Chain A
Amino acid sequence: MSPRSLRQFRALLVKDLRLELRTRDTAIAMLLFSVISMVIFQFAVGTRTEETTPFAGGILWATIALTAVLGVSRVYVPEREQRVLDGLLIAPVPRMVLMTSKAVAIVLYLLAVEIIAVPLVGIFFVEGSFAQDLPLILLTCLLANTGIGILGSLFASMALFSRAREVVLPVLFLPSLLPVVIAAAGATHSVFGVSNDMAEYRGFSLFLAVYAVIFGLVAYATYPFVFDD
């Protein structure tokens, strides 16, 4: 990125974070949603089994996938509600920079949720201590968030102009997200609580990295066209 693009990117990201810190609409909604989702999983699955530890990774990533849909659907809300999108599009900002700033915003929203959701899943569903597993799970979160952010920015931008946007986004987003959910749940499961299968963890982490790289390439090829009316 050129210094000029870097400055634009930083300005766009700071703008999104400022707006979010001011209203706190998105982060709080995502957080509450993730906790409610955990409670639902407890009564859907947890009460039917003696030991929930094997389900902890799955519950965490099912929760985060659904929460991500919520966050992604909100990522263009300031531009939409305050009708500023044209202002960004007439500025000499490469579309790649605009879309990347939204992708990073999604990554940061998810990280804010995960910092609370991961320990909470540990407390709710994992037997025994899990604190020693948190660094590895954080790495999984970072890898998964990258993929979710890249894809989320693309689909959020396309849903922006479609009718019935709130229906389109989950239908569009979740099927492509499925590999991330599967691999991140696998990686989390392989290290959460008593299980400690590093070979499995590495396999799933590698997959998450490959996913991020492939969709990074897709994004590189397609981001410039989304706002190219």
Chain B
Amino acid sequence: MDGVHVALASGESLVVLGPNGAGKTTLLRMLATLLRPDEGSLALLGHDCPEHADRARGAIGYLGHDPLVYLDLTAWQNLELFADLYGLDDPRTRIVDGLDAVGLLPRAYDPARTFSRGMVQRLGLARMLLHDPDLLLLDEPYAGLDARGRALLDEVLAAERAGRATVMVTHDVERGVAAADRALVLRAGRPVLSEPVTDVDPAAFRARYEDLVR
């Protein structure tokens, strides 16, 4: 990764595009405080990282390829664990609401291992949203989701925009651009484009993108 400057205001959403190996996931993992940058600075939600990473972590929601839930725990036990880790008040209400939102309340006491892939990913979605994060980090979020989960995620991204910033890494250029305010295109760890895409036609952008990364 080299020379990437990203500044994201609250309420803004950014889509990160690029071919395989361009460093999209690396960038997202840095934002998620899972990797520390070798050089340069990183401030998340007003907290300098990695020094004050713990303070930023409480306000970040991350969903990647793995749903990050324990398959041998029940849906309820999973969310209970994360409610405790994030120090949430009134965890019962939050868990019930969270499970209800992703349609897993009837299966609350079943181990996640008995769920379908799409249901597990929806549980991951509930885990990400449980602490009502200010910054959502999404790595190919649509990949593992079933139709219901995709609709849910679209709803989350569209409805709860107020005050919440989003960074999404995706291969799906049109979908990503349609949902985002800004686009960042990476190639071999370097930014080749960074501009607003609010009024851009996704199909036209796609054509430009393919020229850029060829």
Contact = CB atoms under 8 A, between A and B. Distances in A.
Instruction: Answer yes or no: A and B touching, Cβ < 8 Å.
Output: yes
Interface of A: 4, 7-8, 10-12, 14-15, 18-19, 22-23, 78, 82-84, 86-94, 228-229
B28 to A, nearest CB: 11
B84 A10 contact: yes
Contacts of B82: 87, 91
A90 B70 contact: no
B35 to A, nearest CB: 5
27 contacts: A7-B84, A7-B87, A8-B87, A11-B80, A11-B84, A14-B81, A15-B73, A15-B77, A19-B73, A78-B70, A83-B66, A84-B68, A84-B69, A86-B32, A86-B64, A86-B68, A87-B68, A87-B82, A90-B33, A90-B60, A91-B82, A91-B85, A92-B57, A92-B87, A93-B85, A94-B54, A229-B35
B55 A92 contact: yes
B155 interface: no
Nearest to A97: B85
B41 to A, nearest CB: 17
A15 B70 contact: yes
Contacts, number: 77
Interface of B: 32-36, 50, 54-55, 57-58, 60, 62, 64, 66, 68-73, 77, 80-82, 84-87, 111, 127
B130 to A, nearest CB: 10
B85 A78 contact: no
A11 B85 contact: yes
A172 B126 CA distance: 39
B36 A228 contact: yes
B36 A4 contact: no
B64 A91 contact: no
A82 B73 CA distance: 11
Contacts of A12: 81, 85
Contacts of B60: 90
Nearest to A87: B68
B156 to A, nearest CB: 18
Contact of B34 (A22, A82, A84, A86): A86
4 pairs of A and B residues whose beta carbons are closest in the complex: A87-B68, A11-B84, A92-B57, A92-B58
B129 to A, nearest CB: 14
Contacts of B58: 92
A22 B73 CA distance: 9
A92 B84 CA distance: 10
Contacts of B32: 86, 90
Contacts of A83: 66, 68
Given A15-B77, A88-B85, 16 more contacts: A8-B84, A8-B87, A11-B81, A11-B84, A11-B85, A14-B81, A18-B77, A22-B73, A22-B111, A86-B32, A86-B64, A90-B34, A90-B57, A91-B82, A228-B36, A229-B36
A15 B81 contact: yes
A7 B81 CA distance: 10
Contacts of A7: 84, 87
Contacts of B34: 86, 89-90, 229
Contacts of A18: 73, 77
Contacts of B73: 15, 18-19, 22
Nearest to B127: A87
B6 to A, nearest CB: 18
A90 B62 contact: yes
Given A19-B73, A84-B69, A87-B68, A228 B87 contact: no
